[in-house]
Structure 1
Amino acid sequence: MELKLEARDVAPRLATGMFILNSGLSKLRADQETAAGVHGMACIAYPFLEKLDARRFTRLLALSEIAVGGTLLTPFVPTRLAGAALTGFSAGLLGLYLRVPGMREPGSLRPTQNGIPLAKDFWMLGMGIGFLSAHSPRGGESARRCPWHRCGRH
């Protein structure tokens, strides 16, 4: 397996990875009030999370952010794998934006002032999908050329 990191992937992986990692590290030190706020917002979007204690939920969220951020920042992790982690993580966060009242203008995807911090999840989802579409090095050089070149006639 080739572990080559494409130059075009470095900047988005670095910027997004550092952002998510910082968020996770900040949540690890969350006090009870912060944990209750984070948990309460998540429970509005995902009611099944009410079964978890607020501190435990916030710690698990922090650890998942650290894992996703670390995956993006680690150069030997294939971009497609990092993209899968980022896509799954940001899709879950996008659910908050879409389900929590007051984050969007009525009948629209446009964010309100309160929704702007969550609207970034659209960008992260887009980057994750872009990383998932990175070419696979398994096919070799012939897989990257036009199909007619593989037949030997062109």
Structure 2
Amino acid sequence: MNARDLTWQLPLRLTAGTYIVDSGLHKWNPDEETAKQLHGFAAGTYPFLGAVPPVTFSKALAAGETLLGAALLVPAVPARLAGLGLLGFGAGLLGLYAKTPGMRRPGTPFPTQDGVSLAKDSWLVAIGAALVLGDRR
């Protein structure tokens, strides 16, 4: 990463990376109830996840988030690669927002009070896209 890349990538990578590492670490050792809640929420939108046991799903989610966050924080990881990971992760979260009943006001893309926490994850998609499309000089 050269100095020009560092100046525009660093704020994006630090912000998203620390947020995602923190989220992953908080999910690292879930109790049974937390694992069931996380799993139920995800499996409701992505039915194929129903076949994965809740604790296994939660641990995999925690590991994936922690790894993605670390990739964003390590400058040696190419921005486009880290950005693709972030773009995919953010798109999955926005899928939860779009497909989970009660997250959006009827007939609009705007969130209900319950949907705000997922709708705000659109910033992860934007940062991922910026890292993928970045400066091409």
Q: Same fold (TM over 0.5)?
A: yes
Residue 80 of structure 1 pairs with residue 80 of structure 2: yes
Moved over 2 A (4+): 3-6
Q: Which residue of structure 2 lines up, in the alignment, with residue 119 of structure 1?
A: 119
Q: Which residue of structure 2 lines up, in the alignment, with residue 128 of structure 1?
A: 128
Deviations 1:112-140 (A, max 9, x none): 1111111122111011011111134xxxx
Q: Distance in 2 between matches of 1:111 and 1:58?
A: 25
In structure 1, the gaps of 5 or more residues are 137-143, 145-154
Residue 107 of structure 1 pairs with residue 107 of structure 2: yes
Instruction: Give the 3-state SS of the residue equivalent to 2:40 in structure 1.
Output: helix
Which amino acid in the other structure matches residue 81 of structure 1? Answer: L
Residue 43 of structure 1 pairs with residue 77 of structure 2: no
Which amino acid in the other structure matches residue 64 of structure 1? Answer: G
Q: Which residue of structure 2 lines up, in the alignment, with residue 25 of structure 1?
A: 25
Q: Distance in 1 between matches of 2:48 and 2:29?
A: 24
Q: Which residue of structure 2 lines up, in the alignment, with residue 139 of structure 1?
A: none
Q: Distance in 2 between matches of 1:121 and 1:56?
A: 24
Structure (1 or 2) with the larger CA radius of gyration: 1
Which amino acid in the other structure matches residue 16 of structure 2? Answer: T
Between the two proteins, what is the percent identity of the paired residues?
44
Cα offset for 1:9?
A: 1.1
Q: Which residue of structure 2 lines up, in the alignment, with residue 8 of structure 1?
A: 8
Deviations 1:53-79 (A, max 9, x none): 000000111111011100101111111
Count of aligned pairs: 135
